[in-house]
Structure 1
Amino acid sequence: MTVREDAMDRRVVNDDAAGAVIIEATRMVTDRVVHLTLRRADGERLPDWTPGSHIDLVLADGTTRQYSLLGDPRDAYHYEIAVLREPGGRGGSRFVHDVLKAGDAVDVGGPRNNFRLAPSPRYRFIAGGIGITPMLPMLRAAAEMGAEWELLYLGRSLTSMPFADDLRDEHGERVRVHTSENGRLDVAAWIGAFDPGVKVYTCGPVSLIDAVVEATAAWRPGWSRVERFEASDLGDAARTTAFEVEVDGTGRSITVEPGVAVATALREAGFDLLTSCSRGVCGTCETDVVGGDPDHRDAILDDAERAAGNCFFPCVSRSKSDRLVIAL
C-alpha cells in the first residue's frame, strides 16, 4: 500500500485497489437502507483502511458510486457498507437495492480517505441520516484511543435512521438522537464554543454541513472537519475564458475550453487520468499542482489546503491563472 499524507495530515490516499469482490451477505437495516458485507473473490486480504475511508463500488450498469466503510478496520477480509435508496438519485442506489444480491461479484476501487480522524482528547461527532456510516469506525477508534466523545445523530424519524437503536443501547447518554418530528435542533448550541481540546467531525446532507461550517467558521483550521455527499454550489467559475494546462515533464500543454472539465480535456489529449464521482467529492482524481493558481471547486479540501494551492481535482476544479502546471 502506498500512503501519502499532506502537510495538514488530513488526506490519505491508498493506491492499492480491492479489485473483484463478492457480496457475502445483505440485510435491510431500515426500509430504505441495505447493509452489505463484501469479501475478496479470491479469498485474500483486502487493502487496509482507516476510519473515514470510502470505497468505489463499480456496478454492472456502468455507474460508480462511493460508500463509506463502516466495519472494523482490523477485519482484513471484509468490507461493510450501507446504501440508502435514493428514488431521485442517479440510479446507483436503486441498482444496489434492486439487483445486487448475496453471491454477486462487483468491482471495488480504493479505499481512499479524505476524512481522516486526527488525534484529539475529545470529539464531537455529528451525523445526518446515512452520514452515520463513517462515524461508526470513528467512534470505535476514539474509544480505543481513550478519548472522550459525544455523538449527535439527526434524522427525519427514528425508523429511518440506521443503527440508531444499537448506538443508544451500546453507548447510552453519549449518543443523542434527534428527529425532525421533535422540531429543529440548534446545532451550533450543541457544538458550543471553540475548545482546543475538542475536534468536531460531521457528515450528512448539505443543510447540516452548512450549519456546522457556519458555527465553526472562526475556529482554528482543522478542528472542525466535514464530509459532504455532494459538492457545494460555488457559483460561476473564476474565469469564463479558456486556459492552458501544462503537464509537467512532458513538454505538452492543452487548451481547456469553457464548459469542458480539465479531466475530460486531459483524457481527450491522451493522458491517463482515473476519475470516479466526477463531482469533486471522492478524491480519486487528486492531482498535484506545481504552478499556477487553481480554482478549487471540490467538496474535499479545507480553506488552508485551498490556499496552499498544491493540488486540485480536475473533474470539477479549473484555473484562475492563464496557465496551470500539473504533475500526473
Structure 2
Amino acid sequence: MRTDDFDYELPERCIAQAPAPVRDACKMLAMDRKSGAIEDRIFRDIYDYLEPGDVLVANNTRVMPARLLGAKRGTGGAAEVFLLRERFDVEPKTGSSAVWEVLVRPGKRLKPGSGAVVDFCDKGGQVALSAEVIGWGADEGKGERLVRLTTPLGSLDDALHAVGHTPLPPYIKGYAGDEEMYQTVYSHNEKSAAAPTAGLHFTPELIERLREKGVEWHTVELEVGLDTFRVVDEEDPEKHTIHTEFYTVSQSVVDACDAAHARGNRVIAVGTTSVRSLESAYDRKEGRLRARDHEATSLYILPGYEFGVVDALITNFHVPRSTLMMLVSAFSTRENIMAAYQHAIEGDYRMLSFGDAMFIH
C-alpha cells in the first residue's frame, strides 16, 4: 500500500467554491460498498435508502469564529491569528483572558520573546480583543504559537463574535456569501476549526421527514481540527502520524446503536468525523461500544480496518492523498472508491467541502 494509491486528478472546475443554493438539492452519488454499483441521485433521496429503525449519527460541533484579522501593536502591520485549540494547562482561564494554541501570519514578526501583540477591532473601530504571543505551541515545526487572549468586553466569547470570522478551507477562494452555510443546521457547540461537511446537506425539514419515517437521529461531538485538510506526504501511509482530536459519545448514542444492531438495523454515520467518534468509542477487547466524554483519539483508518459500529456512511468527496480518502477506501475498496470518483468527475459533481454528497451503503 502506497500513498499514491489514494491520489487522483482533481480538476479545478470540480472544486466547489460556494454551497448549493438549497442544501438537500445537491447531487448524491449512492454506491454499494461491496459491489461498487453506482446510482446518481439528489441528496434528499437519502430518504429512499433509509429504513425505519435505522440510526443516523451526526457530529453536532459548530465552527468557531477562529480567523482573526488585526494589526500588530506599535507598527500597525496587518496580522492574522488562527485559533486552533484552547490550552487550559498553561494558565487558568478567566472571564477576560485565556491561552490558545494558534497559527499566525506573518510568522517572522510574531515570534515568542518579541513581546508581539496583535489587536483586533470591532465594526466600530474599537479594540475588542488582543493576542500576546507568549510561547511556542505543541507543534513548533508547523509554526504553532501560544497566545494570551484578553478583552475589555464582558467575555472572550463576546469578543470573538465581535471580531472573528468563520474560517473556510484553503481551496475555497473568495467566498463572500452567508457564513452560516458553512455550518450544519443542527450545530450548537462552537468547538471546531472546520465544519463536519457531510452534514451541510441536511435541512430541518429533511431531518423531520426521516424521523416521521422512523429513522432515529442522534449526535456525537468531535472537535474538527485543521489537520483534516492535510495531505499525507510520506510514501508509505502507515508512516504518517495522524492528528489528535477530542470526541464525546453519550450513553444514549451507545444505547441507540446497540438497539439498532440488535433488531437488525443499520448505524449510518453522517461524515468521517462521526465515523472516527463511533469507531474510537468501540472497545475491541469487549466487542462493544462504550460512552466517552471528551477523550482524545488518533484513530487512523486504513484499508484492512474492521469496522465495529458503522454500517453505512454519508460523506463528501475528499482531497487526494488525504487520510479521508484512505478511510472511505477502507469502508469499501480502493478500486470502488476510485471508480466512483472518476464517475463523479466525469458527471460534473461538485467536490470537497461545499460540494456534493456520497452515500456508501
More contact order relative to length (CA 8 Å, sep ≥ 6): 2
Greater share of residues in helix: 2
Greater share of residues in strand: 1
